[in-house]
Structures are given as C-alpha cells and as structure tokens.
Amino acid sequence: MSLAAVLVCGAAPVDGAEQGTFGWPLRPRPTVERRFDKPERNWLPGHRGVDLAGSEGQPVLAAGAGIVVFAGVVADKPVVSIDHPGGLRTTYEPVRAQVAVGSRVGRGTPIGTLVAGHEGCPAAACLHWGARREASEHARREYIDPLGLLHEVPVRLKPLEPVL
C-alpha cells in the first residue's frame, strides 16, 4: 500500500505499527474505563486523566519521548511523571517505577508495572493516565485529555476546489 493510499483512504499501515509522537501506555490497546472530565478551574472536581483497564504487573510504557521528572509515592500511590518537549507532562499511576528521575525514555519504553487497586475503577487494575501543559508566559497550567495526544483520527485529503 503506498503512502498516498494511506493518506487518501485513512487506513493504518499494513504492519499495524502505531504512528505519531505518542502512543498507548498499555499494550495491547486498553479499554477506556473512565474518560477525561476537565474541571472548570484547576482546583475544582473533575477527572484529570483517563483510566485504562489493565492487569496487575502489566508493563506500563512511556507514551512519548521525554525525561522522567518524578518516580515515587504521592498520597500512598506510586506515580511516574515524564516531561516531554513543548511543556507537556504525562503522569501514570498506580505504577511501580523501574526508571529513575533524570532518565531519558523513548516512546514505548517500559517505565514500571501496573499496581492493582486504583480507586473508582471497575477493572481489577487500572492505569490513570494524565496529561497537562505546563504554565508559560502566555498561558496557565492546563489539564488536557491524554487521548488527544494519540491523533488516531484518519487523515483525509480534500480537494482545494470543488469538483464539478
């Protein structure tokens, strides 16, 4: 299949390899158990990520290339956070880290293993995957839907002029 056919048809490559800068942090592609629910203000209630069904001990992968900026425990939950280019940070919990702060990781690099018992998730083990844009001189820190990083919408080329 040629690249032109992929672009026109929106089909995935024949080998099934993921495309783009970011990919799923669990393999195989997980079920989304709870979706992102952006709070009106950062301090108000909401769900600042997505919960992905997994299994205890399952490898958790870096969604994209970056630098590990946290690998430890927050409020009794094991957490790993990765800074990516462009002021983006992704967070993974509950994950027993196998990477150290300062480590460079690539997309798909194992960063730890999934721990069971994520509160509020119907699956035996769920990965809470969060993302946020860090503050800049033009914008405040903002939580974003990590599923938007995947860019899974097929590309469709449209004519520049109407076809008669």
Could you tell me the residue ranges of all domains in the chain?
Answer: 22-149
Query: For the chain, what is the mean pLDDT?
Result: 82
| pLDDT reported for residue 5 | 36
| pLDDT reported for residue 160 | 67
| pLDDT reported for residue 12 | 37
| pLDDT reported for residue 119 | 78
| pLDDT reported for residue 162 | 65
The number of C-alpha atoms within 13 Å of 145 and in the hemisphere containing its C-beta is 10
More confident residue, 31 or 43: 31
Q: What would the pLDDT profile of 127-147 be if each residue is shown by its tens digit? A: 999 999 987 666 677 888 999
Q: How far is CA 127 from CA 13, 41, 54, 130, 155, in A?
A: 27, 24, 7, 10, 29
- Tell me the residue ranges of DSSP E strands in the chain: 32-34, 50-54, 59-61, 66-74, 77-84, 88-93, 95-97, 104-105, 110-114, 125-133, 142-144
pLDDT tier at 151 (50, 70, 90 boundaries)?
A: confident
Rg of the Cα trace of the chain?
18
Q: What would the pLDDT profile of 53-107 be if each residue is shown by its tens digit? A: 999 999 999 999 999 999 999 999 999 999 999 999 999 999 999 999 999 999 9
Q: Give the DSSP H or E segment for 87.
A: none
Say how far apart CA 147 and CA 22 lie, in whole Å: 9
Q: Which CATH class is domain 22-149?
A: mainly beta
